[in-house]
Amino acid sequence: MLTIDLLRHGALQGGVKYRGSMEEALTEQGRDSMNQVWAHIQQDVTSIISSPLSRCAEPAQSWAKERQIPCVIEPLLQELHYGEWEGLTAAEIEQHTPNQLAKWRQDPTLLSPPQGESMLLFAARVKQAWTQLLAQHQDGHILIVAHSGSMRLLLSLVLQAPIVSTRHLQMPYACWSRVQVKAQQASLCFHGKRV
């Protein structure tokens, strides 16, 4: 049996924005909230897979070094590229492109951020990462450190749910979910668990 924990990065400096592929440092509280989950699971985790963005990769690599386990940086798990929305708050996006964010939130497959990545292309690369993971691991306990968008899509794959359903998943900072895979069949054990 394969156990996969999904952990979203913690809160970032500068408040809540659509950062996408931008680099931004974790707040002290954001890192602490990730560390709390790690402390709870660290004895079980046999390897870590992380987005390349530092808000995910820096804690992941630090934990892997501490435990002397592998840490793979997986570019396919990087957050959606938000194009012209990168670095903007929801209010700034509304001012910049009126009514577009609300439409995107309702069904992100019908609209892409200006100059940004389409949800269908994003979903395809996340699915590729998931397929590779299942092909390479049949057992063990993996921690994936990623983003709201990539975690939502991973969960939609597990649940065999349409992409639009991901908009109904709460995904707070340091959100922790667990998936188990038996005989190539994945099931969600829990989502949004608090330590």
Confidence of residue 194 (pLDDT cuts 50, 70, 90): confident
Residue 184: pLDDT over 90: no
Q: Where are the domains of the chain?
A: 2-191
pLDDT digits 0-9 by tens, 154-167:
999 999 999 999 99
Average pLDDT over residues 87-98: 95
| DSSP assigned state of 75 | G
- What is the per-residue pLDDT for 191? 97
What would be the CATH architecture of the domain defined by 2-191? 3-Layer(aba) Sandwich (3.40)
Strand-strand pairing, 2-8 and 140-146: parallel
Average pLDDT over residues 85-107: 95
pLDDT, mean over the chain: 96
Percent of the chain exceeding pLDDT 90 equals 96
3-state secondary structure 21-36: CCCCCECHHHHHHHHH
Residue 152: count other Cβ atoms within 10 Å of its Cβ: 26
Average pLDDT over residues 47-67: 98
| H helices present in 69-118, as ranges | 90-96, 100-106
- What is the per-residue pLDDT for 141? 98
Among 13-17, 54-58, 179-183, 191-195, the minimum mean pLDDT is found in 191-195
Average pLDDT over residues 77-96: 96
Residue 195: pLDDT over 90: no
CB 24 within 8 A of CB 14: yes
Average pLDDT over residues 108-127: 96
pTM here? Answer: 0.96
Q: Left, alpha or beta for 143 (phi > 0: left; psi -120 to 50: alpha)?
A: beta
Residue 116: pLDDT over 90: yes
* Cα–Cα distance for residue pair 64/85, rounded to 1 Å: 33
Percent of the chain exceeding pLDDT 70 equals 100
Residue 138: count other Cβ atoms within 10 Å of its Cβ: 12
- What is the per-residue pLDDT for 183? 86
